[in-house]
């Protein structure tokens, strides 16, 4: 009888404890339509599934995407403002077993090797839940083509100069 009481009390205590972010698990996978060898200017998409593993309801869930560059000598977090307008997803509550799915579009701004990860926190939890890393490499793409800029930058002033000379000659 006493053992039964202890079980009930423990269950009640567990019920009242705040859900930890550790109760959340996150899967992250690249979209099947992503280009196999992406280059600057391409768009990638990643799909995440955040699952509440229970037993308690997880309240105030917020999940976000992080991107880091891992090229040797250039290791740095990347400011996503320019890469994605998709800032975060939220859920008021996730019951045990419930999932929160999200797509994370990225526009590839700069060449390099990158790792992307989705993190999730909740209102009362003490841990941060993270997905496994997804790595990708962005190939270089020339953004300013000198064979286009040079003719324009040189030819237009020269043409106007010729027009001025012609006008002066015929004045």
Partner 1 sequence: MPILLIAGKEAGELLLSVRGLAWLLVFSVVLSAFSLLLVSDTELSLLDNAQVVYDMTGIATALGGLLALIVGVDTIAGERERGSLVPLLLTTVSRDGILLGKLGGIAVAWVVIYVLAAPYLWAVGSTGQNLSDGLLGLALLGTPVVLGFGFLGMGLGAWLGTARTGLLIGLIVLVLAASPLLLGPSLRQTAVGRAFDAVNPFSAAINAYDAVIIDSVSVAAQATNLAVTAAWFALALWFARASFCRIAR
What does the binding site for partner 1 look like in residue numbers (CB under 8 A)?
40-41, 82, 85, 107-111, 141-146, 148-154, 156-157, 160-161, 163-164, 167-168, 171
How big is the chain by its Cα radius of gyration, in Å? 27
d(CA 94, CA 65): 19
Provide, rounded to whole angstroms, the least separation between the CB of residue 153 and partner 1.
4
What are φ and ψ of residue 161, in 5° steps? -60, -40
- Least separation in angstroms between CB 109 and partner 1: 5
Q: For partner 1, which is the closer residue by CB, 15 or 146?
A: 146
Find the shortest distance in angstroms from Cβ 34 to partner 1. 17
Taking the complex as a whole, the smallest distance from the CB of residue 69 to partner 1 amounts, in Å, to 12
Chain centre distance of CA 126? 23
Token output for 134:
């997804």
Q: Is 91 helix (H, G, I), strand (E, B) or coil?
A: strand
| Residues belonging to the chain | 171
Nearer residue to partner 1 within complex by CB, 49 or 111:
111
Per-residue CA distances from 59 to 49, 71, 92, 164, 167 (Å): 16, 37, 6, 73, 77
Q: What is the DSSP letter of 15?
A: H
CB of 22 or CB of 35, closer to partner 1: 35
- Please say which residue, 57 or 113, places its beta carbon nearer to partner 1: 113
Shortest Cβ 107–partner 1 spacing (Å) = 8
**Contact at 8 Å (CB) between 25 and 129?**
yes
In the bound state with partner 1, the residue whose beta carbon lies nearer, of 46 and 83, is: 83
């Amino acid at each position: 009888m006493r053992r039964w009481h202890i079980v009930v009390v423990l269950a009640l205590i567990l019920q009242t404890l705040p859900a930890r972010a550790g109760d959340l698990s996150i899967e992250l996978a690249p979209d099947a339509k992503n280009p196999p060898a992406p280059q600057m200017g391409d768009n990638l998409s990643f799909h995440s599934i955040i699952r509440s593993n229970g037993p308690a309801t997880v309240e105030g869930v917020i999940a976000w995407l992080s991107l880091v560059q891992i090229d040797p000598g250039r290791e740095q977090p990347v400011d996503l403002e320019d890469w994605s307008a998709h800032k975060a997803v939220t859920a008021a509550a996730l019951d045990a077993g419930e999932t929160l799915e999200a797509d994370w579009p990225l526009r590839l701004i700069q060449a390099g090797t990158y790792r992307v990860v989705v993190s999730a926190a909740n209102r009362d939890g003490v841990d941060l839940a993270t997905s496994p890393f997804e790595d990708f490499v962005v190939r270089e793409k020339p953004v300013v083509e000198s064979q286009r800029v040079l003719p324009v930058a040189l030819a237009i002033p020269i043409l106007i100069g010729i027009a001025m000379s012609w006008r002066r000659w015929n004045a």
